[in-house]
Amino acid sequence: MLATKPATKPIDVHDLFAQTFNAGDVDAIVALYEPGATLGVQPGQTVTGKAAIHEALAGFLALKG
């Protein structure tokens, strides 16, 4: 997992998300979410929980867009 310093204020999460996403580190991205978080994966579709978020983001990162 990508080593990052923890967010100390909400705005820091944006930079951490960008760093981990650009590194392709889905585990580090998911670590930014609360256990019961919900992610909008596309219009009208959401997933809830870290396992579901991990699966959705792993699929998205696999596209190597």
Tens of pLDDT, residues 28-58: 999 999 999 999 999 999 999 999 999 999 9
Confidence at residue 21, expressed as pLDDT on a 0 to 100 scale? 92
User: Under a CB-based contact definition with an 8 Å cutoff, are residues 29 and 2 in contact?
Assistant: no
CB 28 within 8 A of CB 20: yes
pLDDT at position 3 over 60:
no
Structure tokens at 39: 């992610």
**Chain length of the chain:** 65
12-62 carries CATH number 3.10.450.50: yes
N-to-C CA span, the chain: 21
